[in-house]
A and B are shown apart, each in its own frame.
Chain A
Amino acid sequence: DQQVKQNSPSLSVQEGRISILNCDYTNSMFDYFLWYKKYPAEGPTFLISISSIKDKNEDGRFTVFLNKSAKHLSLHIVPSQPGDSAVYFCAASFTGNQFYFGTGTSLTVIP
């Protein structure tokens, strides 16, 4: 059973607007969450992380929000740029355990 779910396989956004990518998880023990970005023919690259002691973490145009009660994670990209077009994966873990990944959301930013 998938413990981390990304229910939107794809998302299209106009350049300059906000992109919101969502992720849900089922295991309440998860205490560390990451977002990865993947371009075709490349491996995933780390984007941003958040610990369960926080509900928000920001890095430039990227902000991750964590709602522990809803077991929901979201990544906001603002403003969106064409170079942000990629597949985005969320992942979750708890100390001493492996990461569980979602299936990814393909983001297309339209110029």
Chain B
Amino acid sequence: ETGVTQTPRHLVMGMTNKKSLKCEQHLGHNAMYWYKQSAKKPLELMFVYNFKEQTENNSVPSRFSPECPNSSHLFLHLHTLQPEDSALYLCASSQHGPINEKLFFGSGTQLSVL
């Protein structure tokens, strides 16, 4: 049971490009999350949306801009990224959040910044 779809699966972009990552959940959940996974590092929470309202922003640089138009869709807009932003970006959802319940993850977008 995944129910969380992310597109694109892979993305290569230059530092001056603007791109967007998309996430859609089909589970009827009310909370959605963006996580970053860099090599050899733990998953880092970037943003949390609960009932479409952003409830957490973990000191993420402004070159990452989230958007949550409804409880089922989440976007991450990217502009003027740096090579160190290359990572796997994972979207997740939960019934409510953030409380003690499991997260459902998408397959991720592998981002390479040249």
Contact = CB atoms under 8 A, between A and B. Distances in A.
Interface of A: 2, 4, 31-32, 34, 36, 41-46, 49, 51, 89, 91, 93-104
A101 B42 contact: yes
A36 B104 CA distance: 10
Contacts of B45: 98-99
B53 interface: no
Main DSSP-derived SS at the B contact region: loop
Interface of B: 2, 4, 6, 9, 40-43, 45, 48, 56, 58, 90, 92, 98-100, 102-108
B33 to A, nearest CB: 8
28 contacts: A34-B102, A41-B107, A42-B107, A43-B4, A43-B6, A43-B90, A43-B92, A43-B105, A43-B106, A43-B107, A44-B43, A44-B105, A45-B2, A46-B103, A49-B102, A51-B100, A89-B43, A96-B98, A96-B99, A98-B48, A98-B56, A98-B58, A98-B98, A99-B103, A101-B43, A102-B42, A103-B40, A103-B42
